[in-house]
Amino acid sequence: MKDSVKSEESRKYYTEVIIDEANKMNIIVKQLLLCQHLESGNQKLDISSFDMSELIAGVIETTGILLTDKNANIKFEAKNISKRR
């Protein structure tokens, strides 16, 4: 019984990771297509700011299973940094 619960939890976790990574890959493909349009002169560049801490935290979260498998730890502390423009 324990193994089936653990297996079900693992299946759900890995399914979520796969979906998340597929979404990220979709974003990358869209960015590549945008780069192609920018290079051809057909698209205007829209520069925007984003939260780098949130991005880094997301990468650490999605690589968590790899870190666990390798018995590795990452310590990340986000500090308030004033935005520059």
Q: Sorting pLDDT into bands at 50, 70 and 90, what band is 5? A: low
**pLDDT the model gives residue 36:** 85
Q: What is the mean pLDDT of residues 15-37?
A: 91
pTM of this prediction?
0.43
**pLDDT the model gives residue 43:** 63
**pLDDT the model gives residue 61:** 85
Task: Identify which of 52, 53, 85, 42 has the alpha carbon closest to the alpha carbon of residue 34.
Answer: 42
The Cα angle at residue 73 between residues 70 and 78, in degrees rounded to 5: 145
pLDDT tens, residue by residue, 44-77: 667 888 888 888 888 888 888 888 888 888 888 8
